């Protein structure tokens, strides 16, 4: 086979790799909960982030944590086909 064919083949492979990287790699800003529990029978996932808030800020802390991990929760549900 000639050099031109090899060059075109290499370019096609590089393009495929770039497309795969773009599709697979999605940065989620908060992707480190302290613990993750998965119930395989019910397909439920629990992201656990342990925090010790001031009692005056308890409701705000709960809301902040839920918002912080919502995108990660959606991504995990889609990837692992969970609830």
Average pLDDT, the chain: 79
* pTM beyond 0.75: no
pLDDT digits (tens, 9 = 90+) for 25-35: 666 665 678 88
- Indicate the pLDDT class of residue 3, thresholds 50, 70 and 90: confident
CA distances from 26 to 23, 34, 60, 66 (A): 7, 21, 28, 20
**CB 45, CB 76: distance < 8 Å:** yes
Tokens of 24: 């697979």
CA distances from 70 to 15, 25, 50, 64, 83 (A): 32, 18, 16, 10, 13
């Amino acid at each position: 086979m000639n050099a031109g064919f090899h060059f075109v083949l290499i370019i096609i492979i590089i393009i495929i790799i770039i497309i795969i990287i773009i599709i697979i790699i999605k940065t989620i800003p908060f992707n480190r909960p302290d613990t993750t529990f998965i119930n395989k029978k019910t397909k439920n996932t629990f992201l656990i982030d342990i925090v010790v808030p001031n009692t005056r800020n308890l409701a705000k802390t709960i809301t902040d944590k839920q918002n912080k991990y919502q995108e990660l929760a959606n991504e995990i549900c889609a990837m692992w086909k969970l609830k």
